[in-house]
Structure 1
Amino acid sequence: MAPVCFGRYAAPFAYKSLMVVLIALLLLGSGAAALANCPSGCSCNDDTLVVVCQESRLDVLPIALNPSIQRLIIRNNKIKTIDSSMQFYAELQHLDLSQNHLVNIPTKSFSYQRKLQELHLNSNKISSVSNSTFQGLNSLTVLNLKRNLLEELTNGVFATLPRLEELNLGQNRISRIEPTAFAGLSALRILYLDDNQLSSVPTTSFSLLGSLAELHVGLNAFSILPDDAFAGLNRLTVLDLNGAGLFNISENAFRGLPGLRSLNLSGNRLSVVPTSQLSGLTRLEELYIGQNDFITLESNSFHGLKNLKLLEIIGAPQLERIEKGAFEDNVNLETVTFIINKKLSVIEDSTLLGLPKLKHVSLRDNAIVSISETVFIGKELKQLDLSDNPIFCDCQLLWLQELLKDKSNFTQIQCAAPEHMKDKYLKLLTADDLGCVHHDTRQQTIICVVVVASVAMLVTLVLILYRYRKNMQEKLKDYKWNKGRKNLEYHKPISTEEDCIVRGIHPSQYPAPPAHSTGLRPIPVTEL
């Protein structure tokens, strides 16, 4: 069998390659044990069939390894090319040649690796690949070409990889993708094209990827997303446009993505939240939209996203305000993360009310000075982070101080002002420290009831007096007249004998008034 393989392989190669094969055959004649020579700096395990040569200063592929090895990891060495020695490792399932000095890959270098499932060639200097580069890799499911020097993808370049499920082409220099570059990748589920030099979405090329579930195309230079930009990707669940350079999104840019669950729009130049464009993504569960230029999250900013569970806004340099009702339509929200937004100082009352499933709120490192108790129901939260804000600790934050005492898993909050409170932990302060006295709620209720009852009685009395005022005036007049009459009777002089007898005074004992004082002649009294 060996001579047959040798004949098939040696034909295309030069004399040097033939010599390598001859040496290998000589070693084969000495038995498999002779091949299991582990190079210096490598780790070889004949039981697990794994060989690891990491930072071993290898500049060529070793040829004296156990031919039955299944995992070969030669990472961070100085290998410049893949030579003919690769044919001796036909049992390989995992090959990692990342962080080497590979410049190109000779044609049919992997013709004998029909069992290979993962090939990692990332962090090299590969400038081009063709439709014959990966010939023979019928079982390959993962191909990693990240961080190389690729500039274009030609038609049918991956056509020999029918079982490929993940393709990483990120951090290259790709500026051109031909229409049928992805032809034959009927099983592809994950594609990385981030951090390249694409000036527009290669919609035609993407339309061939009917099974694609994840697409990462951020850090390019799209500027605009046209209508139906991702047409044909009906099974897409994750779309990453982080740093794609977008400042305009067409009304129907996301049309044809009925199953999208996660969307990353961070790091673009959007001046407003694209509410209308997002509203059709009814199954969206995660939205990342930080590092954009909008100033306010207005009411109903995320209209239509009824299944949204996570909303993240990190590092939005212009964001100042979140208005009440911004999340009115997002009743399934579980996590909101608004952090490192240096101008965000206002979160209006009731902004996060009406979200029964909300459990995690992070408002770290913003410009929040104070926050109202009515912003959210703190007792229902599992996590709250308000750290690294310029918090002003006064009586308005008494509710938060009490909440921090009850919730041990909430992040500690330090006061930034007033000066005598600076750097103190809000949780450790008292009501007096915050300049307020906390009254018992029941006591306050009783006082309010008493005050209200007193006011009600007073009002009732006034109404009664007003209604019967005429009768009372008449009674008062009668009272005054009777009182005046009695006073007159009391001052009436005693002038009759009967009055003297009634008073127990004999008429003879009663002094007669002086004649000169009345001008009347005294009346003689005759004794009987």
Structure 2
Amino acid sequence: MHFFAKSLVPLVLLTIVLGEEIYENSTNICERCKCLRGRQFVLDCSDSGIHNTIAEWPEHDTSLVATFSNNNIGNLEVLPHSDKVTDLIFSHCNIKSLDNGVFKAVRNIQLIDLSYNDLVTEGISPEKFKGPYNNTVYEPLGLTQLNLAYNRIHSLPHKIFEHLADLRQLNLEGNQFKVLDPPTQMALSTLSNLETLNLASNQLTELVGDAVKSLRNLKELNLSYNNLDAVPETLSYLGETLEYLYLDHNPIFEMSDESFLGVKSVIELSLTNLPRLTYVNVNTFSPIKNLKVLFLHTNKNLFDINSQAFGENQTLEELYVQDNALNDLNYNLTKWSNLKLVNMSGNDFFCGCNMYNIAKDLKEDVKRDKDGPVCVNLVSGQSMMIYELTEEACEYQTTGPSPPYHLIIHHYRILRIFTVLVAVALIVCLLLTITILLLRYRKYRMNRSYPFATQIWYNPITNTVT
């Protein structure tokens, strides 16, 4: 017995030594990091030279928020046990790999932030997110928020979320998704409780229907900073629940009455920095029956918004159309008196009846900005504050030229198509003409090179050559 006790001591010491090589010493962790006690216990180990998981959490009786941002961890080992509600932040830690079951001992984990690391598709297998082992199965993690933004992920393993049944928010912004491939589609289809999905700053050219059609509780979708050239038709799968839609910084070139079919539940829509957008067509926003907030600004080539773009039965409360290339806004565009916030600055408006009537209808608290939008008087050429226009503005359009720039753009497109067709027809005719001339020239050359230089005449009576 004494022999076994003596032999056990080196084994324990070896285990401790090896443990110290894997885990950070947490004995005096509150001296190395910041510990704040209140309604939550906050352990802030940001930028603290940490390279491994800490061995133990400090004593805490409330929920835990642990931040380890801006350290050089590399591989994230299994975290210490905690029964309290926990938020974990490991952003900017150069994490390249995770241990299997790295979060399984944190039984009530709520948020995991692994953004701005070096994780790849192969490093985020389902085993990484498995919960505590119970008899014969792994229990699911209680995780509701997962942030994998700005890693190097190009695809999701198809079973990655099998232990995350309660996931509500998923952030995949800034990764390398060029397409939502079949494994990714299968992975997303399992998130029946997902409410927020961020796919911004990837390289997507489409939104595959199989990736989103099972997301029956999705309320917010961010597709900004991708390569979409049109509003995805597959948004109709989300029409009953989607409330917030962001499509900023995409090469979308056209919006019509078919663009938002089926997304009637959207209340906030953002369409900013669309460099190819020039015109908003009639009834573009009509299908969105509950639209309250529209961000349609900083579109440098947007010259016109059709007066019937919103249709009837509007619910709009906030309209942001600043920094476009608009010369005018039609008074019939929306119910201006119902708007609570408006921003029209940074456009090249001409003063006229539309601007005057809009300013007259807007509420006084909307017009409190004394540095608000301006317009150009077509008679004098001077700039005027739109909110200070008088009835005289209605006379400017009769004495000055109307600004039909958006119509010029529209007709230019038709003219360009007609010109291309005519050019193609002329090229075809020219090729046919050249082909005919070449054939005739070839026949002429063949006749000149015929082997008999002179003709021979025969007299059928005398049978003599003349």
TM-score under structure 2 length normalisation: 0.71
- Cα deviation for residue 199 of structure 1 reads 0.9
Of residues 363, 368, 372, the one that matches 2:321 is 363
Question: Residue deviations 1:18-57, cap 9 Å, x none?
Answer: xxxxxxxxxxxxxxxxxxxxxxxxxxxxxxxxxxxxxxxx
- Cα deviation for residue 304 of structure 1 reads 1.2
Q: Sort the Cα spacing of 1:124 and 1:398 in 2 relative to 1 into closer, same or farther, 3 A.
A: same
Q: Secondary structure at the match of 2:275?
A: coil
In structure 2, the partner of 1:73 is: 34
In structure 2, the partner of 1:177 is: 124
- Cα deviation for residue 179 of structure 1 reads 2.7
1:100 counterpart = 2:48: yes
Structural mapping, 1:293-304, within 5 Å = 293-304=251-262
- In structure 2, runs of 5+ residues without a counterpart are 1-11, 132-139, 399-466
Letter in 1 for 2:169: E
Structural mapping, 1:515-526, within 5 Å = none
Letter in 1 for 2:219: R
Of residues 166, 171, 180, the one that matches 1:225 is 180
Q: Sort the Cα spacing of 1:276 and 1:64 in 2 relative to 1 into closer, same or farther, 3 A.
A: closer
Q: Sort the Cα spacing of 1:269 and 1:409 in 2 relative to 1 into closer, same or farther, 3 A.
A: same
1:246 counterpart = 2:246: no
Question: Residue deviations 1:144-178, cap 9 Å, x none?
Answer: 10111011334322222221011000111111312
In structure 1, the partner of 2:336 is: 378
In structure 2, the partner of 1:118 is: 65
User: Structure 1 CA distance, aligned partners of 2:314 and 2:70?
Assistant: 47
Does the 8 Å CA contact 1:254/1:278 hold for their aligned counterparts? no
Letter in 2 for 1:219: G
Q: Select the structure that is richer in strand.
A: 2
Does the 8 Å CA contact 2:352/2:397 hold for their aligned counterparts? no
User: Structure 2 CA distance, aligned partners of 1:111 and 1:64?
Assistant: 9
Q: Secondary structure at the match of 2:109?
A: coil
Structural mapping, 1:415-494, within 5 Å = 415-416=375-376, 418=378, 420-433=380-393, 435-436=395-396
User: Structure 2 CA distance, aligned partners of 1:239 and 1:435?
Assistant: 51
Q: Sort the Cα spacing of 1:366 and 1:437 in 2 relative to 1 into closer, same or farther, 3 A.
A: closer
User: Structure 1 CA distance, aligned partners of 2:255 and 2:350?
Assistant: 24
- Cα deviation for residue 272 of structure 1 reads 0.9
- Cα deviation for residue 282 of structure 1 reads 1.6
In structure 1, the partner of 2:280 is: 322
- Cα deviation for residue 334 of structure 1 reads 1.0
Does the 8 Å CA contact 1:111/1:135 hold for their aligned counterparts? yes
- Cα deviation for residue 314 of structure 1 reads 1.7
Q: Secondary structure at the match of 1:398?
A: helix
Of residues 153, 163, 168, the one that matches 1:198 is 153
In structure 2, the partner of 1:26 is: none
- Cα deviation for residue 112 of structure 1 reads 6.2
Does the 8 Å CA contact 1:414/1:422 hold for their aligned counterparts? no
- Cα deviation for residue 295 of structure 1 reads 0.6
Letter in 2 for 1:135: P
Aligned-residue identity in percent: 23
Does the 8 Å CA contact 1:431/1:437 hold for their aligned counterparts? no
- Cα deviation for residue 62 of structure 1 reads 9.0
Of residues 158, 162, 166, the one that matches 1:211 is 166
In structure 2, the partner of 1:144 is: 89
Structural mapping, 1:14-163, within 5 Å = 63=28, 73=34, 93-105=41-53, 109-110=55-56, 113=59, 115=61, 117-131=64-78, 134-163=79-108
In structure 2, the partner of 1:499 is: none
- Range with bigger deviation, 389-398 or 288-297: 389-398
User: Structure 2 CA distance, aligned partners of 1:422 and 1:397?
Assistant: 15
Does the 8 Å CA contact 1:331/1:354 hold for their aligned counterparts? no
Question: Residue deviations 1:293-348, cap 9 Å, x none?
Answer: 11111113111112111111121121112111112221111111111111111111
Where relative contact order (Cα < 8 A, 6+ residues apart) is larger, the structure is 2
Does the 8 Å CA contact 1:156/1:180 hold for their aligned counterparts? yes
Does the 8 Å CA contact 1:368/1:390 hold for their aligned counterparts? yes
Structural mapping, 1:256-405, within 5 Å = 256-404=214-362
User: Structure 1 CA distance, aligned partners of 2:251 and 2:179?
Assistant: 16
- Cα deviation for residue 13 of structure 1 reads 4.5
User: Structure 1 CA distance, aligned partners of 2:188 and 2:119?
Assistant: 19
- Cα deviation for residue 397 of structure 1 reads 2.7
Letter in 2 for 1:128: N
- Cα deviation for residue 64 of structure 1 reads 11
Instruction: Show structure 1 runs of 4+ deviating over 6 A.
Output: none
- In structure 1, runs of 5+ residues without a counterpart are 1-8, 18-59, 76-88, 439-528
Question: Residue deviations 1:344-402, cap 9 Å, x none?
Answer: 11111211232432111111111111111121121222222111111122344332232
1:188 counterpart = 2:143: yes
- Cα deviation for residue 63 of structure 1 reads 4.5
- Cα deviation for residue 99 of structure 1 reads 2.4
Q: Sort the Cα spacing of 1:179 and 1:186 in 2 relative to 1 into closer, same or farther, 3 A.
A: closer
Q: Sort the Cα spacing of 1:342 and 1:419 in 2 relative to 1 into closer, same or farther, 3 A.
A: farther
Letter in 1 for 2:68: L
User: Structure 2 CA distance, aligned partners of 1:279 and 1:321?
Assistant: 26
Letter in 2 for 1:157: V
Q: Secondary structure at the match of 2:384?
A: coil
Superposition CA RMSD, Å: 3.2
User: Structure 1 CA distance, aligned partners of 2:84 and 2:269?
Assistant: 39
In structure 2, the partner of 1:57 is: none
Q: Sort the Cα spacing of 1:72 and 1:100 in 2 relative to 1 into closer, same or farther, 3 A.
A: closer
Which structure: larger Rg? 1
